[in-house]
Structure 1
């Protein structure tokens, strides 16, 4: 028979404070972590309220940090960012605020740079297959289809 490690509310609160201080977290991650610690629903609610009150947990801040990081490092487009935030149960309002942080000029400039690099990297002789690989690459990363198709026909005639 397995014994489950149990935590008091105070111990769990301290652990979750460190968990949230280390990196921005969303409510869903925190709830999942507490459930993995075998906390009862009432204790989970108490701890989440404490984290919110002491500003360890903030969905708006999480959404902005998430968008900034994934856009700058992984070069995801707006559609992928939106989908990932929705998966984490972030409100539409916070998603829109976070996406508004991306400057349109920077967004299009980055897309153009990535597209030119990608078009040069794809080693395919058949024009249709090369275009398909190009399009699939950018659609998977969440770039808007109208941008992707325009760029594909521009760079791969």
Structure 2
């Protein structure tokens, strides 16, 4: 229960779902976009459904192929990389928070093409470098590095990208 954060079950009984209604609503919820059991548990918790009834619903959704954690991990990694330009570290951390197994996280990250990954890192580095208003080169490098680390890129690749950018600008 500690991984639920601020979520409290619906104590008033208002807007709570019956087991049948919950399954129907969850199939729509899962059909809209890929979901993991953690997200479904959170949704059920909001509606006052916990413990065994929640686990039964999740098992049924998995059996009916509405929920597939590997599919979720792959989709999540692709989407966050392409749309939000997140690095592998950030994606890994977010998937861990959603209680996805290490093996499935690895499979998800394998969806990211290494060349696309580095090209994206270079593009993000250039954009941030151009928009950072800092006259001191050392401080500017630090700010750009911090930004890229927050996005989840690896330190060794960040250093390489900044060097590539510096070499391009000095030529």
Same structural fold, with TM-score higher than 0.5 when normalized by the shorter chain: yes
Q: 2:153 aligns with which of 143, 147, 152?
A: 143
Flag as ranges the 4+ runs of structure 1 deviating above 6 A: none
Q: Contact between 2:132 and 2:140, CA under 8 Å: does it hold in 1?
A: yes
Shift of 1:150: 2.9
- From the superposition, tell whether residues 77 and 40 of structure 1 become closer, same or farther in structure 2 (CA, over 3 Å): closer
1:4-61 CA-partner distances (Å, limit 9, x unpaired): 4442211111111111111111111101111111124221121111100111111111
The count of residues paired between Structure 1 and Structure 2 equals: 157
1:63-91 CA-partner distances (Å, limit 9, x unpaired): 11111111001111111110110000001
Please give the TM-score of this superposition, normalised by the length of structure 2: 0.85
Q: Contact between 1:115 and 1:151, CA under 8 Å: does it hold in 2?
A: yes
- From the superposition, tell whether residues 116 and 11 of structure 1 become closer, same or farther in structure 2 (CA, over 3 Å): same
Cross-structure match for 1:37: 47
1:66-121 CA-partner distances (Å, limit 9, x unpaired): 11111001111111110110000001111000111111111112212221222222
Superposed counterparts of 1:71-110, under 5 Å: 71-110=81-120
Q: Distance in 2 between matches of 1:74 and 1:5?
A: 33
For structure 2, the 5+ residue unaligned runs are: 1-10
Q: 1:134 aligns with which of 141, 144, 164?
A: 144
Shift of 1:156: 4.8
For structure 1, the 5+ residue unaligned runs are: none
Cross-structure match for 1:112: 122
- From the superposition, tell whether residues 6 and 125 of structure 1 become closer, same or farther in structure 2 (CA, over 3 Å): closer
Please give the TM-score of this superposition, normalised by the length of structure 1: 0.92
Q: Distance in 2 between matches of 1:131 and 1:113?
A: 15
Q: Distance in 1 between matches of 2:104 and 2:13?
A: 40
Q: Contact between 2:41 and 2:50, CA under 8 Å: does it hold in 1?
A: no
Cross-structure match for 1:14: 24
Provide the aligned C-alpha RMSD in A: 1.8
